Amino acid sequence: MKNKEFTVVNGYFCEQNHLKLREFFLEHEVDMHESINVEFKHWRFLQVDLILNYICAFLNTLGGKIFIGIDDNGIVKGISLK
């Protein structure tokens, strides 16, 4: 049996071969698309009530990832935290 390599990310152990770190650059297009498991949300300001609705929806289905600060075309727009 092969030994698995692990690394710690945000306090969680992750298998090295499943670890996919991404870098995002303002006004650049990302290399993924929206799907049933991936949602892009571009809001000018952080809207916690809306984020919680999306999180609940994902938890009640198959799960997935919500990327805040990316528009529907996959362009990184960022978000103001003030």
Q: What is the pLDDT of residue 10?
A: 57
For the chain, domain boundaries: 23-82
**What is the per-residue DSSP string for 13-67?**
EEEGGG-------TT-B-S---BTTEEEE--SB--HHHHHHHHHHHHTTT--EEE
Q: What is the pLDDT of residue 7?
A: 62
Read off the pLDDT of residues 5-59 as tens digits, 9 standing for 90 and up: 656 655 555 555 555 667 889 999 998 899 988 999 998 888 888 889 988 988 8
Q: What is the pLDDT of residue 80?
A: 82
